């Protein structure tokens, strides 16, 4: 299709205004002024031909611009302060060129070419950058330096380029004295647009800093990847329909302006807006319902109409051309800029700002959503390459006025957003930034960027056509329009969708990931309801975000328009139809409240202390919440819960949450010292307990007089609920629970977890296990054990029955089997070592001829330890086809329980030697890192680090420990800015599944309890006479683990040490044996030699727990459990004593 038929115009080339209009729309025109006296100008000798590269549509536009006015140049410069190593800067330039193929592009026309479309873009390799020219201005005054820099700036803008000679960009320095320099970048528009120039400067300085040991080296882009991006962007353009017909041509030509030459000479003036005024403009755009980009364009159009009265104005709005479908070239150096001609009628020019801006923003959003800029650019590029003639490798001179005769508009308003240039790089400080561009004859290009929080307006104009006073009048009118917009917004209050400032965790993960992908950093606090520009997402980045969303969203034109038009991330969530903070996943407490309303008569909780229906649980928990408030508990406080498992604990837990507090479980089985420490360290506002434990509770708060003990008895729950009682509505980021786990300092540490993390975790749990209303889930773990959280919340969220199992039954595998059948239980959790003992009990029943089937048990969930393959094989051998499937979960408390899952539904193949921990669950990101926190590839062994929505806030009141475990990490897919170092060694397979390979430190898990060996060692060290202590783990039968302690010197009393541990530590942390040494072994570098300790001792001075004589039936029972075995505890069923052998 030719020019005439494509655009519906005369075949006379003199009428080809649409071509020039769309050409200029991309900001294509440059200017031609030689700098041949520059000693660093590139040689004109022929260079290697390179390899062919696809020509981007934008490059076709700038190619024509280059031919029409001899060149098309951009120039930017930075004022640097600090010692500058010029040799390192040269090496940084070379490294940047090597790593960025877009800087190695040239374009040539073969001999005898007749059409511009015969131009060949080629990618060079093995090129060397020229020397960096340095101009010494150090002896001049500051004013003289500024004048020289401005002259150099305009000279760079008006520079000629030969597209066939590399390099098509130049780095130059001006020495200003006293460790001050001006760093200039000048380039041909064909290789890089304005966004690319920002990237070049930032990449050059980052590379310079990295070569000096400051910061990481920027990522490199290989040639094939660059070629693929060019190809895919080109193919997307080729699939576009013809653009909509444009409006009438417009030209701003006030009195005194005239076209004196079709070879322009550009002049530039840069105006910098203060940070406060920049922020005020962003707030004004937000309040008026638009973006800063739309406000600036509309202000320019209204100013143009004021300075040269017209009923309508047209403005060329360049767009990035870097983001479409699933392609995001936002960080690639190259030339992709497109254009969107926009019309401003009288309804926009004359209307009040409060009406005009939202209307104009909606107009732009519709055009962008329809990809009109892609249509315009692709259509024009096809026409340029097929129809524009060349003679002697140039577009004929006679055609220049023909193309210029009827521009669509001679006003351009590019907005390139934040430059991405940091304030410092190593020892260098970036003190100032300037940028300019050129265009066609009689055009004005008003470029806006933000650097250091300040809006920079670069007014670039053809000085051959416009007198300076005309440009000054236009700029004055523009500033007055901006002031009018701010005044119009001053009395308006934005309503972004909620009074509470929403954090990143309050936004659907797909939007968080998309936002962080384009920002390259975590979202700031309160990101959900802040203006997108305020958090660094300008109109360009907003379009880039679309490329990181699922295809079903990207392909929906209505959703694209709504997303582009949104001014906050919360607004974008609404545009996607996601009303809840977690992609439709309710917070756990909210889901339970809903079940209370819809299922009041259904059973909710049953346990040793009785049963609650959902209605009873609603009333009881509300009364407890009211009671806690009456005792002074406020939202954000922490309430300790000292209860046995049962309905009382559940109701009080929900009551604490309904009062707005986080709950802190305290297991009555813990030693008093440990319970008291938790009560004091958590800074409890209240300690709630049952009547039978009230006396204990009082003793735990002796060091915390501000902690109120609240006994939950019948008297406390009597009476009516206050009329004004309302359940507190938590924010997703509010703390929900603090779980105290073993700590290496000798004291437990409190893991602070929020509602949002568990919302994600429990939503996945339901997706995987599909609990139905009325089905029962066993709750048998300690309330301090992280597994208890899903046992407690998940069944109540789904209308199921929470079945609390008493302590005596938890310790009896036969009793557990009976409960599973009688209740019945649908989902049951085991720690793998306990599961092995459960299987052993079933094998006894099976050998006795008893029925061991579990018809209602649908899932067995395993976590807390590595799952041995022999245990799995025994399960499927025993139960055969009737065996419920196993789910092997993995995860630390610090990540809201579990982050991976592997389902085992049948007997593993004989070739399988290890049970995988599976792949990542929804909403978490897993990384395998080396010791320097660098990602490792599939098949490599490293430490598993966890990121995503489930991460804890850290360790409560222990910032140093938090900083060690939760480390900064950057990845485009990561939700948040940190990952948790698990200390677990893993290997990821090509299928995304992980194999657990063991610990890299002293933390272990025994019978599901996470134990820091260092905590036991610290307690041992408190024993009088003990100077050294170490604890190792010894495996028995390949499954059961024993804690073996080693102390020194020989005079230390192992019996006293064992007794001291029994009084300070939970029973599962008390060493099974203590060996005494004269001195503990060390490695050659003086560190404790744990490997030596794990070898069989030559002599055995040992203290250990020994069983008292048992009855025959007891001996028969115990034979199934390796000694020393203390599942039943220390009172009643087994008598234990400490014996010492020397």
Average pLDDT over residues 440-468: 93
pLDDT, residue 465, reads: 93
CB 906 within 8 A of CB 891: no
Distance CA 1111, CA 73 (A): 96
Q: How far is CA 1066 from CA 1015, 1016, 1132, in A?
A: 11, 10, 18
pLDDT, residue 408, reads: 78
pLDDT, residue 404, reads: 54
Contacts of 133 (CB under 8 A, 6+ apart): 38, 39, 40, 172, 173
Cis peptide bond prior to 1042, omega within 30° of 0:
no
pLDDT, tens digit, 9 for 90 and up, residues 226-261:
998 999 888 888 887 777 666 677 889 998 888 888
* 553 vs 819, residue with greater confidence: 819
| Residue 1112 pLDDT exceeds 70 | no
Q: At what angle do helices 539-546 and 509-519 cross, to 10 degrees?
A: 130
Select the highest-mean-pLDDT range: 324-328, 348-352, 1064-1068.
Answer: 348-352
Select the highest-mean-pLDDT range: 77-81, 326-330, 376-380, 946-950.
Answer: 77-81
Where does the pLDDT of residue 299 fall: very low under 50, low under 70, confident under 90, or very high at 90 and above?
very high
| Residue 844 pLDDT exceeds 80 | yes
Where does the pLDDT of residue 1040 fall: very low under 50, low under 70, confident under 90, or very high at 90 and above?
low
Where does the pLDDT of residue 15 fall: very low under 50, low under 70, confident under 90, or very high at 90 and above?
very low
Distance CA 187, CA 196 (A): 10
Dihedral sign from CA coordinates of 780, 784, 790, 793? positive
Average pLDDT over residues 274-282: 93
**Is residue 19 within a helix (H) or strand (E), and if so which, with residue range?**
helix 17-25
Tell me the chain's radius of gyration from C-alpha atoms. Answer: 36
Least confident of 511-525, 703-717, 818-832: 511-525
Distance CA 280, CA 922 (A): 40
How would you label 32-66 residue by residue, b for 16+ Cβ within 10 Å and e otherwise?
Answer: bbeeeeeeebeeeeebeebeebbbbbbbbbbbbbb
pLDDT, residue 930, reads: 93
Average pLDDT, rounded, for the chain = 84
pLDDT, tens digit, 9 for 90 and up, residues 34-59:
223 333 334 333 344 578 888 898 89
Q: How far is CA 450 from CA 333, 416, 418, 455, in A?
A: 19, 8, 4, 4
Contacts of 1137 (CB under 8 A, 6+ apart): 1105, 1106, 1108
DSSP category for residue 596: H
pLDDT, residue 405, reads: 52
C-beta neighbour count of 760 within 10 angstroms: 24
| Residue 162 pLDDT exceeds 80 | yes
pLDDT, residue 24, reads: 38
Average pLDDT over residues 268-289: 92
- Per DSSP, the three-state class of 1102 is strand
pLDDT, tens digit, 9 for 90 and up, residues 887-919:
999 999 999 989 999 999 999 998 887 899 999
DSSP category for residue 1086: S
| Residue 1128 pLDDT exceeds 60 | no
pLDDT, residue 827, reads: 96
pLDDT, residue 72, reads: 83
Distance CA 124, CA 151 (A): 32
What is the pTM assigned to this prediction?
0.54
Average pLDDT over residues 199-221: 95
| Residue 823 pLDDT exceeds 60 | yes
| Residue 1118 pLDDT exceeds 50 | no
Average pLDDT over residues 191-199: 94
pLDDT, residue 239, reads: 82
pLDDT, tens digit, 9 for 90 and up, residues 393-441:
888 877 766 665 546 789 999 999 899 999 999 999 999 999 999 888 8
Distance CA 801, CA 772 (A): 10
* 926 vs 523, residue with greater confidence: 926
Distance CA 418, CA 456 (A): 10
pLDDT, residue 13, reads: 34
CB 781 within 8 A of CB 740: no
| Residue 988 pLDDT exceeds 80 | yes
| Residue 137 pLDDT exceeds 60 | yes
pLDDT, residue 971, reads: 84
* 589 vs 239, residue with greater confidence: 589
DSSP category for residue 98: H
Give the tokens for residue 701: 């708060």
* 983 vs 1139, residue with greater confidence: 983
Contacts of 355 (CB under 8 A, 6+ apart): none
Least confident of 203-207, 242-246, 549-553: 242-246
pLDDT, tens digit, 9 for 90 and up, residues 709-763:
999 998 777 777 887 788 998 888 889 999 998 766 678 999 999 998 999 899 8
Average pLDDT over residues 1072-1097: 75
pLDDT, residue 1137, reads: 35
| Residue 1125 pLDDT exceeds 60 | no
pLDDT, tens digit, 9 for 90 and up, residues 379-394:
888 888 888 898 888 8
* 466 vs 701, residue with greater confidence: 466
| Residue 615 pLDDT exceeds 50 | yes
pLDDT, residue 264, reads: 86
Where does the pLDDT of residue 499 fall: very low under 50, low under 70, confident under 90, or very high at 90 and above?
very low
Distance CA 190, CA 211 (A): 29
* 921 vs 17, residue with greater confidence: 921
Percent of the chain with pLDDT over 70: 87
- Per DSSP, the three-state class of 88 is helix
């Amino acid at each position: 299709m030719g020019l005439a038929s494509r655009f519906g115009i005369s075949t006379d080339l003199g009428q080809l205004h649409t071509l020039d209009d769309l050409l200029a729309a991309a900001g294509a025109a440059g200017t031609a002024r030689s700098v041949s006296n520059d000693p660093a100008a590139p040689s004109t000798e022929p260079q290697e031909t390179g390899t062919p590269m696809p020509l981007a549509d934008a490059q076709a536009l700038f190619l024509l611009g280059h031919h029409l006015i001899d060149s098309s140049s951009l120039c930017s410069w930075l004022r640097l302060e600090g010692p500058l190593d010029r040799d390192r800067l040269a090496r940084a330039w070379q490294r940047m060129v090597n790593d960025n193929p877009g800087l190695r592009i040239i374009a040539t026309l073969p001999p005898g070419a007749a059409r511009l479309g015969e131009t060949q873009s080629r990618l060079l390799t093995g090129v060397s950058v020229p020397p960096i020219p340095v101009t010494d201005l150090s002896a001049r005054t500051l004013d003289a330096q500024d004048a020289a820099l401005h002259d150099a700036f305009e000279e760079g803008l008006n520079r000629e380029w030969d597209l066939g000679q590399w390099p098509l960009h130049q780095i130059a320095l001006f020495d200003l004295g006293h460790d001050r320099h001006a760093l200039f970048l000048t380039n041909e528009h064909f290789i890089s647009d304005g966004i690319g120039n920002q990237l070049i400067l930032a990449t050059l300085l980052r590379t310079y800093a990295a070569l000096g040991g400051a910061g990481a080296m920027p990522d490199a882009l290989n040639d094939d990847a660059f070629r693929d991006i060019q190809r895919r962007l080109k193919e997307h353009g080729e699939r576009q329909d013809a653009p909509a017909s444009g409006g009438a041509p417009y030209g701003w030509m006030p009195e005194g302006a005239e076209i004196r030459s079709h070879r322009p000479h550009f002049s530039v003036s840069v105006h910098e807006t203060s940070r406060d005024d920049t922020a005020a403009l962003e707030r004004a755009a937000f309040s008026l319902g638009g973006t800063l980009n739309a406000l600036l364009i509309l202000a320019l159009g209204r100013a143009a109409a004021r300075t040269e009265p017209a009923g309508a104005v047209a403005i060329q709005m360049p767009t990035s051309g870097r983001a479409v479908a699933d392609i995001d070239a936002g960080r690639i150096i190259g030339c992709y800029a497109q254009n969107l001609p926009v019309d401003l009628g009288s309804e926009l020019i004359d209307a009040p700002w409060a009406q005009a801006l939202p209307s104009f923003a909606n107009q732009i959003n519709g055009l962008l959503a329809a990809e009109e800029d892609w249509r315009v650019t692709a259509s024009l590029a096809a026409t340029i390459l097929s129809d524009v003639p060349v003679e002697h490798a140039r577009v004929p001179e006679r055609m220049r006025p023909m193309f210029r005769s009827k521009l669509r508009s001679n006003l351009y308003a590019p907005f390139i957003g934040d430059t991405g240039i940091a304030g410092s790089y190593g020892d260098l400080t970036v003190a100032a930034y300037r940028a300019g561009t050129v265009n066609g004859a009689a055009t004005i290009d008003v470029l806006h960027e933000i650097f250091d929080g300040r809006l920079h307006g670069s007014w670039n104009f053809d000085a051959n056509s416009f007198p300076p006073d005309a440009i000054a009048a236009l700029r004055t009118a523009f500033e007055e329009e901006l002031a009018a917009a701010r005044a119009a917004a001053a009395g308006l209050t934005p309503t972004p969708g909620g009074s509470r400032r929403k954090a990143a965790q309050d936004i659907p993960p797909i939007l968080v990931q998309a936002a962080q992908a384009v920002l390259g950093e975590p979202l700031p606090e309160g990101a959900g309801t802040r203006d997108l520009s305020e958090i660094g997402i300008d109109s360009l980045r907003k379009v880039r975000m679309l490329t990181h969303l699922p295809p079903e969203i990207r392909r929906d034109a209505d959703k694209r328009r709504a997303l582009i038009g949104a001014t906050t991330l919360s607004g974008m969530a609404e545009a996607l139809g996601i009303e809840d903070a977690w992609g439709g996943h309710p917070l756990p407490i909210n889901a339970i409240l809903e079940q209370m309303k819809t299922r009041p008569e259904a059973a909710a909780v049953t346990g040793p202390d009785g049963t609650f229906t959902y209605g009873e649980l609603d009333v009881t928990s509300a009364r407890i919440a009211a009671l806690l408030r009456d005792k002074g508990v406020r939202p954000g406080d922490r309430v300790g819960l000292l209860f046995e498992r049962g309905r009382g604990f559940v109701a009080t837990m929900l009551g604490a949450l309904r009062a707005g507090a986080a709950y802190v479980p305290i297991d009555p089985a813990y030693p008093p010292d440990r319970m008291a420490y938790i009560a004091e360290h958590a800074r409890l506002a209240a300690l709630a307990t049952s009547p039978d434990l009230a006396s204990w509770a009082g003793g735990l708060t002796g060091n915390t007089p501000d902690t109120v003990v609240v006994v939950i008895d019948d008297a406390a729950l009597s009476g009516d609920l206050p009329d004004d009682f309302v359940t507190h509505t938590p924010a997703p980021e509010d703390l929900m629970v603090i779980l105290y786990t073993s700590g290496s300092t000798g004291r437990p540490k409190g893991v602070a977890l929020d509602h949002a993390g568990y919302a994600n975790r429990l939503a996945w749990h339901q997706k995987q296990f599909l609990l139905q209303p009325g089905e029962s889930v066993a709750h048998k773990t300690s309330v301090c054990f992280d597994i208890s959280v899903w046992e407690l919340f998940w069944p109540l969220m789904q209308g199921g029955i929470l079945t609390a199992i008493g302590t005596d039954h938890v310790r009896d595998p036969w009793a557990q089997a009976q409960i599973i059948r009688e209740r019945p239980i649908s989902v049951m959790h085991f720690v793998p070592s306990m599961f092995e003992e459960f299987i052993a009990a079933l094998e006894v029943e099976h050998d006795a001829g008893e029925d061991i089937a579990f018809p209602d048990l649908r899932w067995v969930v395993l976590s807390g330890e590595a799952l041995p393959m022999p245990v799995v094989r025994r399960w499927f051998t025993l139960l055969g086809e009737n065996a419920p499937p196993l789910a092997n979960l993995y995860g630390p408390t610090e990540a809201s329980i579990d982050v991976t899952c592997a389902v085992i539904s049948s007997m593993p193949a004989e070739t399988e030697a290890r049970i995988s921990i599976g792949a990542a669950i929804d909403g978490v990101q897993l990384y395998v890192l080396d010791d320097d926190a660098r990602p490792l590839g599939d098949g490599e062994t490293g430490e598993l680090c966890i990121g995503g929505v489930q991460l804890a806030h850290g360790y409560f009141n222990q910032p140093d420990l938090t900083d060690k475990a939760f480390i900064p990490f950057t990845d485009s897919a990561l939700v948040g800015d940190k990952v948790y170092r698990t200390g677990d060694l893993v290997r990821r397979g090509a299928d995304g599944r992980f194999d657990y390979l063991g610990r890299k430190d002293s933390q272990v898990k025994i019978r599901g309890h996470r134990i820091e060996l260092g905590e036991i060692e610290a307690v041992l060290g408190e024993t009088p006479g003990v100077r050294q202590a170490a604890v190792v783990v010894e495996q028995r039968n390949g499954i059961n683990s024993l804690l073996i302690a080693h102390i020194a010197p020989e005079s230390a009393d192992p019996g006293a040490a064992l007794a001291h541990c029994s009084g300070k530590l939970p029973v599962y942390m008390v060493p099974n044996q203590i060996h005494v040494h004269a001195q503990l072994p060390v490695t050659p570098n003086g560190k404790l030699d744990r490997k030596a300790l794990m070898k069989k001792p030559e002599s055995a001075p040992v203290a250990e727990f020994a069983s008292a004589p048992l009855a025959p039936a007891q001996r028969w029972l115990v034979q199934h459990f390796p000694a020393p075995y203390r599942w039943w505890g220390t009172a009643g069923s087994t008598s234990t004593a400490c014996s010492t052998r020397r």
